[in-house]
Amino acid sequence: MQRGQSERIVRFIGSLLPLYDMEYGVEACRARQLATGITLDVVDESSADEERGLIQLRHPAAAESWTVEGRMLATEALRDYVDLQGFGLPEKARRREFQRMCEHFSFKTGAYTYMEWEDDQSEAWALAGRVLRALGKEAAMSSFKALIGVP
């Protein structure tokens, strides 16, 4: 029997140790966020026209549950996972790893994550700081004054 997209997403997120883990001993596929105890359960979408990869979230202290798109939850889970695993790495390296993990998620689940493609401006600011230090205080102040129109 082929697994549905919801189950593939729950299993993928459940493999992101040490943030999530699969919960065994239950009748259905279930992952748990280890920090909060929130469970991620598969939603049966067999009667739907199109699989959306829905996941049911349940907090252990709450009686209610929430249904979300699994790919939205997976994006945040992957970002947290890459931030944890890439602690101390440069921003570019963490972004490359995030992109790689998003591609791996798509390969494994058939769903796509929401990725940010904005350019990292931190390198531009670092370069600007080096240029200002190289020019010296007086040259930097005269350039800044000229920029804002002060004589």
Question: Is 47 inside any structural domain?
Answer: yes
Does 131 lie in the same domain as 104?
A: no
Q: How many CB atoms within 10 Å of residue 101?
A: 20
Cβ atoms of 74 and 13 closer than 8 Å? yes
Kindly state the tokens that stand for 135.
């020019």
Q: Which domain holds residue 125?
A: 121-151
| Claim to verify: residue 18 and residue 45 sit in the same structural domain | yes
* pLDDT tens per residue, range 85-144: 988 888 888 889 999 999 999 999 999 998 765 555 556 656 666 666 677 767 767 776
Indicate whether 114 belongs to any domain: no
116 within domain boundaries: no
The CA distance from 136 to 75, in Å, is: 44
Within-domain flag for 84: yes
Same domain, 105 and 125: no
Does a structural domain hold residue 75? Answer: yes
- Residue 37 covered by a domain: yes
Structurally, how many domains does the chain consist of? 2
pLDDT tens string 49-65: 888 899 999 998 888 99
Give 116-128 pLDDT, tens digit per residue. 655 555 566 566 6
User: Do residues 62 and 98 share a domain?
Assistant: yes
Confidence of residue 37 (pLDDT cuts 50, 70, 90): very high
